[in-house]
Amino acid sequence: MNTLLALLDPRHVFHEAAHSWAARDPSAHWLTSPLVQNGVIRVASHPRYPNHLGTSGAVRNVLRAFCADPRHEFCPDDISLVDDAHVARTDLLTPSGITDVYLLALARRHQARLATFDRRIPVQAVPGGESALELLSA
């Protein structure tokens, strides 16, 4: 979610880095799931978000434009962390990291990579998590 936020928010600290990453491979596709889309709308429209992008409706419109790009693909939220196939180490599931682990497992399930600036994601929590993570440089 942090990469999508950086792509959409021109004042985001990683905005330029996200766009540089996106430009490196023009044939790459970007996947978003309902969880990511809802999270971006929630965060970017929140009045306390430092770069508040407007109302939820306004952020939704920005996100809709992003999703209309031919490089975008919709990825359904079609896994559950209750399923052992998606979790290798339950001891690494923490309240603050559950969404990141879920998104990593979802990326793996769809043979994609979770592109993120976050270096705290416990890749060992997901079977094959290392191959499903792409750490971006700031």
- The model's pLDDT over 109-136, given as tens digits with 9 standing for 90+, comes to 999 999 999 999 999 999 999 999 999 9
- Cα within 13 Å of Cα(3), Cβ side: 22
The DSSP letter of residue 43 is: H
d(CA 27, CA 119): 25
Would you say how long the chain is, in residues? 138
Domain ranges of the chain: 1-71, 78-138
- Asked if residue 17 lies in contact with residue 137, where contact means CB atoms within 8 angstroms, the answer is yes
- Asked if residue 17 lies in contact with residue 133, where contact means CB atoms within 8 angstroms, the answer is no
pLDDT digits (tens, 9 = 90+) for 4-52: 999 999 999 999 999 999 999 999 999 999 999 999 999 999 999 999 9
pLDDT digits (tens, 9 = 90+) for 78-98: 999 999 999 999 999 999 999
- Asked if residue 10 lies in contact with residue 19, where contact means CB atoms within 8 angstroms, the answer is no
Query: Over pLDDT 70: what percentage of the chain?
Result: 100
* Band (55; pLDDT cuts 50, 70, 90): very high
d(CA 26, CA 110): 20
- Asked if residue 124 lies in contact with residue 10, where contact means CB atoms within 8 angstroms, the answer is no
